[in-house]
Structure 1
Amino acid sequence: MFRRREPVPFAFIAEADTFRSNVAPPPRPRASVGEVVGRWLMGLTVVAGLVGALLVGGPALSTDTSPAHTQQSDVSQGR
C-alpha cells in the first residue's frame, strides 16, 4: 500500500503554545465540612498506622550486640 505524502502546514503547531481560550472551566465545587473532616480523619488514621508500625516493629529491627543479653542454659554452665 502506498502512503500519501501531503504537505502538512506546521504553523498551527507553533501557534498552539500561544493560543489562549476565552472559555473558563466551571469552578470546582467547595468541599463540605463533612468531607474535610473525613479527609483529616483518614490522614490521621494513615499517619497513626505508620507510627504504630514503627513503634511495634522497631525493636524487632534493632540489632542487639551486647553480651549481657546472650542466653545460656543451665546445662551449658555445668549444673
Structure 2
Amino acid sequence: MFRRRESVPFSFVAEAERFRSNVTPPPRERASVSQLAGRSLVGLTLIAGFAGSLLFGVPALDTDRSASHTQQSEATSHR
C-alpha cells in the first residue's frame, strides 16, 4: 500500500521557509526621553540589587574559623 501525502491544512509549514514578503514593516518608534530614563532607572535598580546582595551575602557565607574557635574556647573556660 502507498502512503498518503500530508493533509492540506499543514501544507503551509513546508512552504514557510520559501515564502518572502515584499511588504516592508513600518519603522520602529523611537523611545521617548522618559522611556529611556525609566529603562535606565530599572537597570540601575537591578544592578544595585545585585551589588547589595553580594555585599551582604559574601560575608554571611564566609566561614570564619577563628570566631568558632573563640566560641568553643569560651565555652570550655566557663566549666
Instruction: Measure the CA separation in 2 of the matches of 1:49 and 1:11.
Output: 50
Q: What is the Cα deviation at residue 77 of structure 1?
A: 2.3
TM-score, scaled to structure 2: 0.66
Q: Which amino acid aligns with 2:17?
A: D
Q: What is the Cα deviation at residue 11 of structure 1?
A: 7.2
Long gaps (5+) in structure 1 = none
Instruction: Measure the CA separation in 1 of the matches of 2:58 and 2:15.
Output: 58
Q: Which amino acid aligns with 1:19?
A: F
Match of 2:19 in 1: 19
RMSD between superposed Cα atoms in Å:
3.2
Identical-pair percentage: 56
Larger Rg: 1
How many equivalent residue pairs? 73
Long gaps (5+) in structure 2 = none
Q: What is the Cα deviation at residue 38 of structure 1?
A: 1.1
Relative distance call for 1:70 and 1:41 in structure 2 (3 A) is: same
